[in-house]
Structure 1
Amino acid sequence: MPKITILEKTNLQEDCWHSMLISLLRGLAALVVAAAHLRAQMYPGFGTVTKPPLLFQGLAFGAGFAYLAVIVFFVLSGWLVGGSFLNKLDADRAFQNYTIDRVSRLWVVLVPTFLIVLLAGAVVGALDTARVSFSTSEPYSMSAFFGNMIGLQTLIVPPFGGNFPLWSLANETWYYVLFPLLVLVFRGRTIATRAAAVLAIGAIFQLVHGSILIYFSIWLLGAAFSRVKIEAGPLWRWSLLFLFVGSAVVIRLKGKTDITPEGFPQYLVFSLLLVLFLSSMQFKRRLGPKLDWLDRTGRFFANFSFTLYVLHVPLILLMGHLLASMLGLGQLSPYRLSHYLMYGGMYLVLVVGAYLFYLPFESNTPRVRQWLKMQLFARVRAVRT
């Protein structure tokens, strides 16, 4: 029978099986989301295609896992972000460091991405470059720009520039805020601190919509199971993997295809199977060329998965505009093999473009983070002196 152990600290060691799997899942999730949105933008809807070819059926089926990929992001974010914060909770300036880490993680990528969004909007004619808008209802307004920086998209402003995947960043942003507040409720040093945390949580509950709050439990599930180690034999681990993959296929074929309160039960089961499987894989992996190659591949795509996630829609918009203006193609045809090759080429541009964009920005997040901490803490020391 499996043995369950509650860990004192989240295991973030990179030479363990679960760490390699987390990297692979992060990279794969971003790749699936980009493929799904490219297919939706460049091909007609599956239901509108008469006698869809087998190749198109396969493309549509594979791209249909995009919502599950977002759920994977929520679970892994809770595991990594929540688990890392709990590990550092007793360190000096734990909450200040956490705040800088989260802000830099988002803004180092979002600010340059939003500039690309503006460029794409200007090229396709969706942005009126002759005026500056501050309306909270316009996607290219200054209000939308700054609102998306602090997670207010879908709450007060629309996703900036029509970059609709940014809806999930509103969830992530408020999860980043709610989690340390929950920790303060239980670990605050004074009654006043705990009371202030409760009031802040109440205010956030009034601001955000129900879907954000419901799916916070999935984020918390990842954080909680980051402290759970399940020692089990191969049969148990393979069974959990089979159930996890099987649940994904069942949800894809029979379940809800959007992230709403009605679809929460199916995603909760899916998430529970995922964290159980990851917890059962918390042991050292054997060294070998094949596993090392798999580990490097997973980390390569995981490193720029965030950039790919937030950048791919404006890139799709630009490529779609070029395709229409140069070749007169508004959409690709499901019946032409050459169009699948074009789709593959466009997808390759998305991935390579995101990687090249990652190099000057997201890859330098640790340096920006360290610089911010040096500046902030140096000023704090100077003020105290």
Structure 2
Amino acid sequence: MLPSKLARVRFLPRTNLRTDYQHSVAISLLRGLAALQVAAAHVRAQFYPGLSTIADPSAGYQLLAFVTGFAHQAVVIFFLLSGWLVGGSLMNKLEQPHAMLAYCIDRISRLWIVLVPAFAVSLLIGLFVGELGSWRAGGPIPQAYAPLTFIGNMFGLQDLAVPRYGGNFALWSLTYETWYYAMFPLAVLMFARPGAFAKAASAVALAVIAWHLNAAILLYFTLWLMGAGFSRIHIHAGRPLQFGCGALFVLVAVWFRLNGSNNILTEESYLQDLLYGLLFLVLLCSLQTRVAPGDVLMLRLGRIGNFFAEFSFSLYVIHVPLIFLLRHVNQRQFGITQLDPASLSDFGVYLSLVVVIVLLAWLFHLPFEAQTYRLRRRLKGWLLPPLAAQNIA
């Protein structure tokens, strides 16, 4: 793929998940930036009119719409990084005892420690803004807030069997992610475990799951798998080639932002995202070098990235209910139903809304997402034999 004089490709026996490498700094930064991008895009869409509906939009608003228009690409980045981190971590631990049970604990704790309180917050916000008015008056609870919808969203069944809980339209991507968490270990067991019965059982289970999923979810599973596969590749490249890969990746992202499919992930957007994802993964593989102790810029970027990455999942899950809340407050208290694209002061309101949402998401993560590793250790202490729990935590 790359000329040998420019780069050397080496396959790694283990996925490198150490945090003192350049690719880990990039991963942390991108996790945080992707969540910020999605939140900023949704705030703009909910408070400003659509760009296509404005006859003569100002240059400033066109720039804002462009900069906050990469939510589609951000979700693709989420999937690629999930494959790299989650898939790579599982492959590293396959030879450890009870690796699959530990993997299940890791995945369930990762999702549910955020989803359960986030859905509770959504319910409270729904009550506050009047979405459950008919239920409070003695009628049936709206389907978007029904207990069955709550349970379905906990297991990744939104858009497959139940609606998205609380009208949280960002939850569509968690359907993809949840089933990738389930499908990947089954795919691994088909090749990594001896015994015809185990391989056959894994294949049947994988086929049953695939049968009940739609084409887009299955197609984008290949991107998730690419993330896991590329985590075992190290491309030794010089700075010029790294900058060239980075520039090409940015140019392709901008091209697809302007000319491609930018809604939710569908069959129509798959090929563009496949190309975009390949370029991104090649770039990430070229960054698998240790951060120099005196590289102040990388060390600072690492600290910034770690800060935002720590609550990126909380921000992704909770930002839509917070938008509903802030929109209701603005309408009731200030009479603001829509921001003016030509007003500089309204742009200040928009920035304030984004900052408030990010701040509230950070506060939300402290008692929940920030306690993920503590919860995992306790669950593994209860459910795994002592030695296995110690080795696999």
Equivalent residue, structure 2, for 1:54: 59
Deviation for aligned residue 1:95: 0.1
Q: How far apart in 1 are the matches of 2:17 and 2:377? A: 20
Q: How far apart in 2 are the matches of 1:366 and 1:134? A: 35
The letter for the 1-side match of 2:331 is A
Please say if 1:216 is aligned against 2:247.
Answer: no
Equivalent residue, structure 2, for 1:266: 272
Equivalent residue, structure 2, for 1:360: 367
- Counterpart mapping for 1:40-79 below 5 A: 40-79=45-84
CA contact (8 A) 2:135 2:141 kept: no
Pairs aligned (count): 379
Q: How far apart in 2 are the matches of 1:202 and 1:292? A: 45
CA contact (8 A) 2:170 2:317 kept: yes
Equivalent residue, structure 1, for 2:27: 22
Deviation for aligned residue 1:204: 0.5
1:377 to 362, 370, 384: 384
Equivalent residue, structure 1, for 2:187: 182
TM-score, reference length from structure 1: 0.96
Q: CA RMSD in A?
A: 1.6
CA distances 1:14-41 after superposition (whole Å, capped 9, x unpaired)? 1111000011110000000000000000
2:281 to 275, 278, 283: 275
CA distances 1:50-100 after superposition (whole Å, capped 9, x unpaired)? 211122111100111000000000000000000000000100110000000
Equivalent residue, structure 2, for 1:251: 256
CA contact (8 A) 2:319 2:357 kept: yes
Deviation for aligned residue 1:133: 5.5
Report which stretch shifted further, 37-46 or 228-237. 228-237
The letter for the 2-side match of 1:263 is S
Deviation for aligned residue 1:132: 8.3
- Local SS of the residue matching 1:139: helix
Q: How far apart in 2 are the matches of 1:224 and 1:184? A: 16
- C-alpha distance 220-365 of structure 1, shift in aligned 2 (>3 A): same
Deviation for aligned residue 1:134: 8.0
The letter for the 2-side match of 1:145 is F
The letter for the 2-side match of 1:277 is L
Deviation for aligned residue 1:186: 0.8
Equivalent residue, structure 2, for 1:338: 345
1:289 to 284, 293, 296: 296
Please say if 1:147 is aligned against 2:131.
Answer: no
CA distances 1:295-315 after superposition (whole Å, capped 9, x unpaired)? 100110011000000000000
The letter for the 1-side match of 2:278 is L
Q: How far apart in 2 are the matches of 1:114 and 1:57? A: 34
Deviation for aligned residue 1:378: 5.7
- C-alpha distance 204-134 of structure 1, shift in aligned 2 (>3 A): farther
Deviation for aligned residue 1:206: 1.4
Q: How far apart in 1 are the matches of 2:385 and 2:23? A: 38
2:115 to 110, 115, 130: 110
- C-alpha distance 317-134 of structure 1, shift in aligned 2 (>3 A): closer
CA contact (8 A) 1:132 1:141 kept: no
CA contact (8 A) 1:133 1:142 kept: no
Equivalent residue, structure 2, for 1:7: 12
Q: How far apart in 2 are the matches of 1:147 and 1:24? A: 31
Equivalent residue, structure 2, for 1:298: 305
Equivalent residue, structure 2, for 1:169: 174
CA distances 1:276-309 after superposition (whole Å, capped 9, x unpaired)? 0000110112223332211100110011000000
5+ residue gaps in structure 1? none
TM-score, reference length from structure 2: 0.94
Q: How far apart in 2 are the matches of 1:158 and 1:253? A: 30
CA contact (8 A) 2:22 2:298 kept: no
Q: How far apart in 2 are the matches of 1:89 and 1:50? A: 58
Deviation for aligned residue 1:377: 2.4
The letter for the 1-side match of 2:345 is S
Equivalent residue, structure 1, for 2:94: 89
Q: How far apart in 2 are the matches of 1:133 and 1:98? A: 39
User: Identity across aligned pairs (percent)?
Assistant: 47
Which contiguous aligned blocks of 4+ residues in structure 1 show a shift greater than 4 angstroms?
Answer: 131-135
Q: How far apart in 2 are the matches of 1:64 and 1:89? A: 39
- C-alpha distance 368-132 of structure 1, shift in aligned 2 (>3 A): farther
- C-alpha distance 31-292 of structure 1, shift in aligned 2 (>3 A): same
Q: How far apart in 1 are the matches of 2:179 and 2:61? A: 38
